[in-house]
Structure 1
Amino acid sequence: MQDWIVSIPWWGYLLFALLIWALADILQKKHAIKHNFPIVGHFRYLIESIGPELRQYIVANNREELPFNRRQRSWIYASSKKENNYQGFGTDQDMSSAGYVLIKPSMLPRRLPDSHPHSIQNNDHPLHYTLPGAKIIGLHHKRSRPYRPKSVINVGAMSYGSLSANAVAALNRGAAKFGCYHNTGEGGLSPYHKLGADVVFNIGTSYFGVRDAQGNLDLQKLVQLTRQNPNVRMLELKLSQGAKPGKGGVLPASKITPEIAEIRQVPMGQDIVSRPYHTAFSNIPQMVELIEEMAEKTGLPVGIKSAVGKLDLWEELARTMVETGKGPDFIAIDGGEGGTGAAPPSFADHVSLPFVYAFANVYKIFQRYHLTEKITFIASGKLGLPDKAVMAFAMGADLINVAREAMMSIGCIQAQICHTNRCPVGVATNNKWLVSGLDPALKSERFYNFVKTFNKELIEITHAAGYEHPCQFTMDDVDLSMGDNNLTQSLHLSHGYEKDKVPFDSMQALFSCNHLGGEPSAPKKPA
C-alpha cells in the first residue's frame, strides 16, 4: 500500500487537490461565481481585490465606470453584506463637475425625542429603519382597496424570465422581510412573486398572464388573478420603459422554460417579442376608461409607467383627468438611462429623456392642472443610492423604484450580458447550472441588508437637512453644479419650478395609522 502511494507522481497529488478544491467550490452556496466556475472563479475575487489599484494606475479611477461606477457598486456590495461601507480621507469626486448633486444640510439637524422610532437611541426598534409612503394611493379616486406602501424604497419592474427564479425569489423574500413592494415586470405573476411581499402587477403590451388566445387583454383573467392573490396591491399599466421606449420587449427563446411559457401563456421554442403598443386602447380617453374599468373590477389602485419624450399626450392626460375626475392613481416615470431590459444601442443611448428632465417636464404639467396632490409619483432611473433618491424626492417623487441596484445587492457584477442567458452569477439567466449558484435564502438577506442600509442613510440625510420624512425636501434643498466658474444652482432654478408641498403631519402619525400597506382608516393621535 505504501509503495503504491509512493509511486503516484507529484501531479497526481495536484490533480486530487484540485478535485477536492473544485468540489468544495461547487458544494458551497455563498458565492455564485465560485459555484458556477470552480477554482477559476477565485481569480475574479483576487482581481477585484486589487482592482482599485489597477484602475488608479493603469485603467480608470473609481468614478469612471458606467452605468454604475466602482464606488457606487462597492457601497451596494458592502451594504448588502453588512460590511464597512464608509469612505475615508474625503471625497474623490470633482464637486464642481456639471450635474454634481449637492444636498444642503441644516445648521441645526432635526432633533427627535428619545421615544421616536428613528431616534439614534432606538436602533433596535422594529420601525427604526421604516419610511412609509406619505400618500395613500387610490384614496382620491375612492378605490375600494387603496394602498399606503410601507416603504418609500421598493423593487422596480423586473420580469421572471429576464431574471432567474432564484433571483426573483430572493428579492421577494427580502422585500417581504423589510416591507417593500415588489413590481412583477411585464412577464406575469410567478410563484416566486408569492413569497410574502406586497406585489405591483405590471401589465405590458403583451398582457402576459392575463391574455386571451389572440394575445389581447382579458379583464376577467385579471380580476381572477387579483382575487386569488391578495398580495397584489396595485396594477401598473406599462406604456414604455426607459431602456427602449416605443419598442416592445424581447425574451430570447434560449431563456424560455416550460414554467415561463405557462406563466406568460406563450409557446415554447421561439423568441417572445412584445408589441410596442397596446391593443386594449389607442388614445388617452380610452386609456383612462380602461384604468377606471380595471380599478372598478379589482378595487385596486391603477397607475401608468412610462418613459418621457413628447409632452402633448401628457398634457391631454392631465386635461382629461381634470375634465372627467378619472385617471391613474399613480404615475411611474422611468428615466432614459436604461434599465434591466436589453435594447439596441440607438434606443438605450438616445431615445427618451433622462430621469431629471423627464420627471421635471411631467411634474410641471400636472402641477399646472393642480393634480399633484391627487397622484402618487414614482421615480426610477439609477436612483438606488441615497443622494440620488434625495434629489428625486426634492423634485416631487413620492416613492423610488430600484432595479439594477437591487440586482447588484444579490450578486450582479455588471457583466452587461443579461440578454445572452450567460449571466455568470445566476441573476439574469435561466441556465440551470448558473442559477444553482444563487442561493435565494442567502441573497434575500443581502437585499434586506441593502434596502435597510439605504433607508438608514436616507433617514440620516433627511434629519441632517432638518426634516423628518424625505417628502419634506424642497427643490431649494438640493443644488446642482453648473460646471462653469464653479457656480451652483438649486433644482428650483435649474428646472424652473418648485414642487408642491406634500400633506404630511409627522412620522408618529404615519406609524400610528393601522393601515400601512392596508385599508385606510382615521389616524390615531400621538400619545
Structure 2
Amino acid sequence: MDTVFSLLGAISWWGWILIFIALVGIKDILFNKSHIIKHNFPVIGNLRYFLESVGPELRQYIVASNREERPFNRSERGWIYASSKNENNYEGFGTDQDIYENQYIFVNNAMMPFKMKKDHPNHEDPNFIACAKVMGSFNKRRRPFRPASIINVSAMSFGSLSARAIESLNEGCKEAGAYHNTGEGGLSPYHKKGADVVFQIGTAYFGVRDDEGNFSMENLVKMVEENPQIRAIEIKLSQGAKPGKGGVLPASKISKEIANIRNIPLGKDVLSPPFHSAFEGLDGLLQFIEDIAEETGLPVGIKSAVGKLEQWEELAEKMQASGKGPDFISIDGGEGGTGAAPPSFADHVSLPWIYAFTKVYKIFLDQGITNRIVFIASGKLGFPAKAAMAFAMGADCVNVAREAMMSIGCIQAQSCHNNTCPTGIATQNKWLQSGINIKDKAKRVNYYFVKFRKELLELCHACGYEHPCQFTMDDVEINLSDRNLAKSLAATFTYHKEEVPFTSVKEHLESPYLGGFHNSKNVETKEAETEDTAVYHKEK
C-alpha cells in the first residue's frame, strides 16, 4: 500500500492532466454514441465544444470591435453603463462610427440654438421632459394621464425578469418620474414601489382572469381601485419578439408566488394563445377598449408589432368615423426583446421599428386623427439621437426594455430564455438574483433616465426647439445609398408629421394630470374638460 501511495505521489501535475485527458478520450471512444466529433477526435472534439460554449463571451470581450456586435454593440452598452453609474459618458477624438453607412442618421442643428430664459422649468430641472400630449384627453376619460417622462420602461413581466430586477426598475422609475409597464405577467408586489404603472393585458389575461382563464372585468376594476398608481391600461395584441405567436409557461417555472399573481394553477403548463378571447375583430376591440375605459376611468391603449397594413387602415377609418378608439398606440419593432422566440419569428416576422412606425403613423395621418393618439415607440431607441429621430417621425414617448436592463447590470449574455442569466436579471434562480443590490440598481435606472433626457434636451435646444415634440421630419436625415447619400425623413418616408399642440414646458409642469413625483394630485379623478383638451380643440 505504501508503494502505491509513493507511486501516486511521484506523479507530477502534468502527469495527472495527461491521465485525465486519457480517461476522457477512452470514455468518448467507448461510450459516446451521440457526438461524432467527440467520438472520432476525443481530445480536440471536447476542446471544440468548450470553445463553442464560450464563443459569445470571446467575441464580446476580445474579438469584436466597438461597433460590430448585435443587438447592442460595445459602444452602445458603454454609454448606458457610464450613464447609469453617473460617470462621464462622453467620447473623445471624434466619432469612430462609419458616418457613410446605410441608415446612418444626422440631426440638423440650428444656426441659433434655443435660448432658455432664467424662469424656465429646465433651469431648475435640466432633465424634465413630460409628454406633450395627455393620454385620454380627447376621449374625456375620467383619469387622463400625462407621462412625466417621455422615456419610460417597456413591458417586461415578473417571470421573464426576476423579482429583484422588477423592484429595481420600479424604484428607479419612481426616482426618475417615469412609468413602468408591467408586461403581461400581472401586477406583482415588485411593481408597487412607487412608480406610475401601465398595466398590460395579454392574451392569457394574467392577473385579471377568472378561474377558467377568461378575462374578468370585475378583477380588473378591483385591481385598479386598490392600486391608484396604475395610470393606464395597455392591451397587447402582439410583440416584436414573436408577433402572432403564443407561448407556454412550463409548470416547472411556475412558483407559488407567480401562480398567485397570475391566477394560474400550480403544477400545470399554462398557454398564452396568439389571439384574444375577450373580443372578436376590430369592432370587438374598439368596444373592449371603451368598456375598460368606462369601468376603470383610465386611458386605454394597444400595443402591436406591424406587418400587414389592411387592418390598421380599417382601424383608423373606424376611429375617424366613430370618434372612439385607443388613447395611445405602442408600436413595437420587429427587432425583438427579452421574449424568447423561434429564429424564424425573431429574425423575419414583423417590420423593424422605423418601417413599422412610419407606415402606421401615415395611415392615421391620412385620416387626420394623429393628435387624438399618444404614439409610443419601442425598438432599440434607448439613445438620445435615435429618440430624436423617433420624435421627428411622430412619436410622443419612447419605451426602453433591454436598455433599461443594461442600466441595472445586464451584460447581453443572451441567455434570457434559459433561466441561467448570470446577472440574475432574467432568471428565477434565487442564487443568481442575490447579487442584485436593489437600492444601488434603482439609482442606476434613475441616472440612466436623467442622463438620457438631459442629452436629448440638449439635442433639442441645439436644433432651436424647447421640446422634442417640435422636431420635424426635415430635422433628421438618413443615409439611403451611395447614389442618394442622405435624405430627410420627410423625403424618405414621404410624409410630414402633424404638428403637436404645444405651448410650453411650464404648462406641462403645471398640468393636473402629470404623472411621476412632480404632482401630488396626479391620481385624483377629474370630470371636467381639461385645459389640455381645450388646447387640442383650439389647435384643430
TM-score, normalised to structure 1, is 0.86
Given the alignment of the two structures, is residue 107 of structure 1 paired with residue 111 of structure 2, yes or no?
yes
* Aligned-pair Cα RMSD in Å: 1.9
| Mapped contact 1:249–1:341 kept (Cα < 8 A) | no
| Mapped contact 1:161–1:251 kept (Cα < 8 A) | no
| Partners of 1:229 and 1:472 in 2: CA distance | 34
| Mapped contact 2:179–2:197 kept (Cα < 8 A) | yes
5 Å-filtered alignment, 1:100-499, equals 100-118=104-122, 122=123, 125=124, 127-485=125-483, 487-499=485-497
| Partners of 2:311 and 2:185 in 1: CA distance | 26
Name 2:42's counterpart in structure 1: none
Aligned to 1:418, what secondary structure does the other structure show?
Answer: coil
Name 1:61's counterpart in structure 2: 65
| Partners of 1:481 and 1:221 in 2: CA distance | 50
* CA 1:50–1:340: 2 relative to 1, 3 Å: closer
| Partners of 1:465 and 1:261 in 2: CA distance | 50
C-alpha deviation, 1:500, in angstroms: 0.3
Q: Deviations over 1:334-355 (max 9, x none)?
A: 0000012111110000000000
| Partners of 1:117 and 1:72 in 2: CA distance | 30
| Mapped contact 2:100–2:479 kept (Cα < 8 A) | yes
| Partners of 2:178 and 2:238 in 1: CA distance | 23
Q: What amino acid sits opposite 1:493 in the alignment?
A: A
| Mapped contact 1:255–1:431 kept (Cα < 8 A) | no
Q: Deviations over 1:182-231 (max 9, x none)?
A: 00000000000010001000000000011112211011111111011111
C-alpha deviation, 1:84, in angstroms: 1.4
Larger Rg: 2
| Partners of 1:192 and 1:49 in 2: CA distance | 31
Moved more, 261-270 or 335-344: 261-270
| Partners of 1:322 and 1:215 in 2: CA distance | 34
| Mapped contact 1:256–1:430 kept (Cα < 8 A) | no
| Partners of 1:99 and 1:251 in 2: CA distance | 38
| Mapped contact 2:144–2:513 kept (Cα < 8 A) | no
| Mapped contact 1:162–1:251 kept (Cα < 8 A) | no
Q: Deviations over 1:65-115 (max 9, x none)?
A: 000000000000010111111111111111111100111111111111123
Given the alignment of the two structures, is residue 84 of structure 1 paired with residue 82 of structure 2, yes or no?
no
| Mapped contact 1:478–1:490 kept (Cα < 8 A) | yes
C-alpha deviation, 1:50, in angstroms: 11
| Mapped contact 2:408–2:444 kept (Cα < 8 A) | yes
Aligned length: 468
C-alpha deviation, 1:273, in angstroms: 2.9
Q: What amino acid sits opposite 1:400 in the alignment?
A: V
Q: What amino acid sits opposite 1:186 in the alignment?
A: E
| Partners of 1:263 and 1:508 in 2: CA distance | 40
Name 1:503's counterpart in structure 2: 501
| Partners of 1:285 and 1:322 in 2: CA distance | 13
C-alpha deviation, 1:483, in angstroms: 3.0
| Partners of 2:429 and 2:224 in 1: CA distance | 31
Aligned to 2:417, what secondary structure does the other structure show?
Answer: helix
Aligned to 2:198, what secondary structure does the other structure show?
Answer: strand
Name 2:101's counterpart in structure 1: 97
C-alpha deviation, 1:270, in angstroms: 4.0
| Mapped contact 2:392–2:497 kept (Cα < 8 A) | yes
| Partners of 2:531 and 2:477 in 1: CA distance | 38
Report % sequence identity. 59
| Partners of 1:398 and 1:515 in 2: CA distance | 16
Name 2:538's counterpart in structure 1: none
C-alpha deviation, 1:301, in angstroms: 0.4
Q: Deviations over 1:325-378 (max 9, x none)?
A: 211111000000001211111000000000011001110111111110101100
Q: What amino acid sits opposite 1:117 in the alignment?
A: P
| Partners of 1:514 and 1:263 in 2: CA distance | 32
C-alpha deviation, 1:514, in angstroms: 3.7
C-alpha deviation, 1:310, in angstroms: 0.5
C-alpha deviation, 1:421, in angstroms: 0.8
Q: Deviations over 1:32-53 (max 9, x none)?
A: xxxxxxxxxxxxxxxx99999x
Name 1:4's counterpart in structure 2: none
Given the alignment of the two structures, is residue 75 of structure 1 paired with residue 79 of structure 2, yes or no?
yes
* CA 1:449–1:225: 2 relative to 1, 3 Å: same
| Partners of 1:426 and 1:468 in 2: CA distance | 40
Aligned to 1:246, what secondary structure does the other structure show?
Answer: coil
* CA 1:49–1:295: 2 relative to 1, 3 Å: closer
Q: What amino acid sits opposite 2:88 in the alignment?
A: N
Aligned to 2:134, what secondary structure does the other structure show?
Answer: coil
| Partners of 1:504 and 1:232 in 2: CA distance | 26
| Partners of 1:508 and 1:219 in 2: CA distance | 38
| Mapped contact 1:255–1:429 kept (Cα < 8 A) | no
Name 2:49's counterpart in structure 1: none
| Partners of 1:447 and 1:249 in 2: CA distance | 29
* CA 1:250–1:91: 2 relative to 1, 3 Å: farther
C-alpha deviation, 1:261, in angstroms: 1.0
Q: What amino acid sits opposite 1:474 in the alignment?
A: T
Q: What amino acid sits opposite 1:76 in the alignment?
A: I
Q: Deviations over 1:376-410 (max 9, x none)?
A: 10000001111111111000000110100000000
Q: What amino acid sits opposite 1:94 in the alignment?
A: D
Q: Deviations over 1:120-151 (max 9, x none)?
A: xx4xx2x3211011011101001011111111
| Partners of 2:127 and 2:341 in 1: CA distance | 36
| Mapped contact 2:109–2:463 kept (Cα < 8 A) | yes
